[in-house]
Copies of this chain bind each other. A is one copy, B any other.
Amino acid sequence: MWADLTPIGRDGRSGGYRRFAWTREDAALREWFAGEASARRLDVTLDRAGNQWAWHGDPDARPGVVIGSHLDSVPDGGAFDGPLGVVSGFAALDVLRAAGTPPARPIGVVNFGDEEGARFGVACAGSRLLTGGLAPDRARALTDADGTTYAEAMHASGIAPDHLGRDDEAVRRIATYVELHVEQGRGLTDLDRPVAVGSAIRPHGRWRIDLPGEANHAGTTLLGDRRDAVLAAAEVVLAARAAAQRHNALATCGKVQVEPNGVNAIASHVRVWLDARAVTDEQVHAVVADVRAAAATLGGTLTQESWSDATAFADAHRVAALLDDAPVLDTGAGHDAGILAAAGIPALMLFVRNPTGVSHSPAEHAERDDCLAGVDALTTVVASLAR
């Protein structure tokens, strides 16, 4: 499975991945998912948001256990973030089917679309649409950097965007959702363990910061006459870091767009995106308030693009007991499991050790033995839930 997946959307130079929602690469990934399902004689169904489901057994007769993750990536992302959960889902299903005693509940594998939000700015768009957390009109109107809307991109991929909206039928089929994911930190490495159970997702959100300037000639405009949006952006970026330190939170400005972006033209507008996370909502709000104040003194504004409340996974300690008392860790990263849990759908997460802790980078890695330990743990958990 893994070998068929690795070439899709891979950058030959960096080794990183560019797998964005509703692109050619995404279509190849969805085709891969359909092929894996077909090889197991499973039908693939799409929910109203276009997420792919492969069910073993009839989830309309009795809600089932769903295993999965996503196949898309951030720009220049790693191979494991997302695909490891989907591949492990199919692998765990294979083990359970080969075991002879058929599980009492149906088992499904899911590929949630557009988890990273790399193209349209909203993370976990597929699971937010499924659960009704993202309004269909807002989703359809989201635009990428080229001005293509989410609706247009979905349509171009052959899926009608008219049906977007909470999908009660698809939601009803889920008894529990289990998402295995490569760890995005060094928790397991420090503990010298291969697999952990997720206890919670910390609150996090994204804001677009718009900073106005005034276009002018770099060679003739006196410093005192300038309104340089790049200078404003520099101040806001440093203010965001200082606010994160002050409130013991994380703040990142990873995306910047400069207009007109000419060497000899003073910038007329800069957009900087802020990603802010912390243990509590209050800490995140404090960071955002400080950044908003810094931007306001420069004529700038903040617009919230997404927000995810803190989410706890209820059964984490019980599940850890099933897995030789695996460590229980929370995470600052958002996941579809968090979106489902916030919508009242029982959800769980497993994390697989990442030796360096690096993620969202071509350097992201998990050892083969740890991945196999992940599949074992997933199989144990799903078998227990499907009993």
Interface residues of A (CB under 8 A from B): 16, 74-77, 116-118, 121, 123, 184-185, 202, 204, 206, 214-223, 225, 228, 230-231, 233-235, 237-238, 241, 244-245, 250, 252-256, 258-268, 273, 275, 277, 305, 331-334, 357-363
Contact = CB atoms under 8 A, between A and B. Distances in A.
Given A234-B238, A362-B215, A220 B185 contact: yes
Nearest to A277: B219
A51 B77 CA distance: 44
Contact of A216 (B117, B121, B215, B361): B361
B275 A264 contact: yes
Given A256-B256, A359-B217, A263 B76 contact: no
Given A255-B258, A264-B123, A265-B76, A238 B231 contact: yes
A381 B195 CA distance: 82
B261 A219 contact: no
Contacts of A260: 16, 74-77, 254
A387 to B, nearest CB: 33
B77 A220 contact: no
A144 to B, nearest CB: 13
Contacts of A358: 214-217
Contacts of A244: 223
A233 B76 CA distance: 20
B217 A360 contact: yes
B275 A253 contact: no
A252 B218 contact: yes
A182 to B, nearest CB: 10
A359 B118 contact: no
A347 to B, nearest CB: 18
A271 to B, nearest CB: 11
A215 B254 CA distance: 10
**Interface centre among A74, A238, A363, by most B CB within 10 Å?**
A74
Given A252-B264, A261-B255, A275 B223 contact: no
A116 B219 CA distance: 12
B254 A230 contact: yes
Most B Cβ at <10 Å: residue of A121, A202, A261:
A261
B264 A360 contact: yes
B275 A254 contact: no
Given A237-B231, A264-B116, A215 B258 contact: no
Given A233-B234, A234-B237, A259 B215 contact: no
A262 B118 contact: yes
Contacts of A258: 254-256
A250 to B, nearest CB: 7
A256 B230 contact: yes
A275 B235 CA distance: 19
A65 to B, nearest CB: 27
Contacts of A305: 263
A36 B268 CA distance: 34
9 nearest CB pairs, A to B: A215-B361, A75-B260, A218-B252, A76-B260, A234-B234, A219-B332, A184-B220, A234-B237, A217-B359
A305 B264 CA distance: 13
B255 A263 contact: yes
A43 to B, nearest CB: 34
6 contacts: A76-B215, A202-B219, A215-B360, A221-B250, A230-B254, A263-B273
